[in-house]
């Protein structure tokens, strides 16, 4: 297979398996999505979806969030892990949204990435899923699969994102990154991986990974 044929095989297979892809993190608007994505660092989506209703019952907008103390936020989000850092980030970004952006989540990468605890991946998720701007957020699943599929050298997530954007059509990015995440969880996990069930890696993957 040529690289382009491999890319098309990935697109076709994922579209068959996941014609519809729900956004894994429960949210009601860009702000609650931003908070949910921040909480998801080193935590599962399922775990975050248990915590956010408790947090959003008290504060689902930046104005209510800054009425809570950092310690109050931390107590609610503790099960998500990294709660000292995340609670400061949530409080800090809420304050900046009020002071600089009229309480709204900005619709550009520069302003998003200037917010506390918001990196490029978090900004990419918000841009793609909240605002529909083409982006290709790379999490551990996408990083692992792009390497297994021999579509990147796997040196770092920045390179993986660059390769993904170069190989896949821009109009597919927002759906495709979710499809790859779903596929990674179901067919190509980091642990307990069975290559016989992993049809994409079995068909186009690296020989060194298949051993």
The predicted pLDDT at position 32 comes to: 98
Q: What is the 3-state secondary structure (H, E, C) of 175-195?
A: HHHHHHHHHHHHHCCCCCCCC
The string of pLDDT tens digits covering residues 180-207 is 999 999 999 999 999 999 999 999 997 5
Report whether 175 contacts 23 (CB < 8 A): no
The predicted pLDDT at position 209 comes to: 56
CB atoms < 10 A from the CB of 142, how many?
Answer: 24
The predicted pLDDT at position 206 comes to: 78
The string of pLDDT tens digits covering residues 68-113 is 999 999 999 999 999 999 999 999 999 999 999 999 999 999 999 9
Concerning whether 121 is annotated as a catalytic residue, the answer is yes
Does 1.10.3720.10 match the CATH number of domain 3-21+136-210? no
The structure tokens listed for 115 are: 């917010």
Concerning whether 139 is annotated as a catalytic residue, the answer is yes
CA 31 to chain centre: 15
The string of pLDDT tens digits covering residues 156-177 is 999 999 999 999 999 999 999 9
Q: Give me the sign of the Cα torsion angle 201, 203, 204, 205.
A: positive
The structure tokens listed for 37 are: 């994505």
Q: How many angstroms separate the CA atoms of 209 and 68, rounded?
A: 48
Map out the domains of the chain as residue ranges.
3-21+136-210, 30-129
- Matching fold, domains 3-21+136-210 and 30-129: no
Please, what is the angle between helix 173-187 and helix 157-167, to 10°? Answer: 120
The predicted pLDDT at position 208 comes to: 53
DSSP assignment letter at 155: S
pTM for this entry:
0.91
CA distances from 71 to 31, 43, 65, 116 (A): 20, 20, 12, 17
Report whether 25 contacts 56 (CB < 8 A): no
Q: How many angstroms separate the CA atoms of 176 and 19, rounded?
A: 10
Q: Which of 6, 60, 86, 121 is catalytic?
A: 121
The structure tokens listed for 89 are: 């980030």
Fold of 30-129: Endonuclease III; domain 1 (1.10.340)
pLDDT category at 211 given cuts 50, 70, 90 is: very low
Q: Which of 60, 139, 163, 198 is catalytic?
A: 139
Model confidence at 27: pLDDT above 90: yes
């Amino acid at each position: 297979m040529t690289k382009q044929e491999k890319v098309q095989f990935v697109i076709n297979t994922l579209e068959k398996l996941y014609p519809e892809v729900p956004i894994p993190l429960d949210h009601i608007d860009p702000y609650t999505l931003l908070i949910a994505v921040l909480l998801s660092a080193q935590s599962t989506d399922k775990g975050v979806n248990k915590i956010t209703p408790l947090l959003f019952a008290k504060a689902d907008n930046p104005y209510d969030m800054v009425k809570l103390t950092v310690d109050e936020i931390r107590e609610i989000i503790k099960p998500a892990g990294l709660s000292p850092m995340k609670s400061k980030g949530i409080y800090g970004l809420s304050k900046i949204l009020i002071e600089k952006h009229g309480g709204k989540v900005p619709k550009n990468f520069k302003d998003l990435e200037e917010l506390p605890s918001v990196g490029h991946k978090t900004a990419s998720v918000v841009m793609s899923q909240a605002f529909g701007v083409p982006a290709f957020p790379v999490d551990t699943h996408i990083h692992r699969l792009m390497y297994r599929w021999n579509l990147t050298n796997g040196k770092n997530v920045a390179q993986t994102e660059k390769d993904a954007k170069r190989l896949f059509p821009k109009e597919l990015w927002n759906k495709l990154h979710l499809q790859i995440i779903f596929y990674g969880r179901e067919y190509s996990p980091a642990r307990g991986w069975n290559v016989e069930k992993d049809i994409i890696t079995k068909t186009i993957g690296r020989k060194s990974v298949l051993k």
